[in-house]
Amino acid sequence: MIFLLATIASNAEQLATIAITVVVGALIYGLPLILIIRLIKYLGTAGKEQQRIRMEMSKIADEVQKVRQELQGVSSKLQPPKQ
């Protein structure tokens, strides 16, 4: 009976050691691998994203220019003529 319990305890200890080894191995090898994959994806899309942001900024700048021109036109109409 004691031998059976000792064997079960020894097996449980071995399983715990294996589980810990697998988890540590996953952290050591898995995290850098995931980070490298994400970095490659980011570097692949960074140029496209910058181009999209530039286009959006250009559109906003055009809209701001139009609004300024409209406001200048309205303000010139509101000012009394110079004598």
**Which of residues 12 and 64 earns the better pLDDT score?**
64
Query: What does the pLDDT read at residue 33?
Result: 92
Q: Output the pTM of the full model.
A: 0.46
Indicate whether 72 pLDDT > 90. no
Query: What does the pLDDT read at residue 36?
Result: 94
Q: Which long-range contacts (CB under 8 A, 24 or more apart) does 10-15 make?
A: none
Residue 5 is classified by DSSP as H
pLDDT digits (tens, 9 = 90+) for 5-31: 567 667 778 888 888 998 898 889 888
pLDDT digits (tens, 9 = 90+) for 40-60: 998 888 888 999 999 999 999
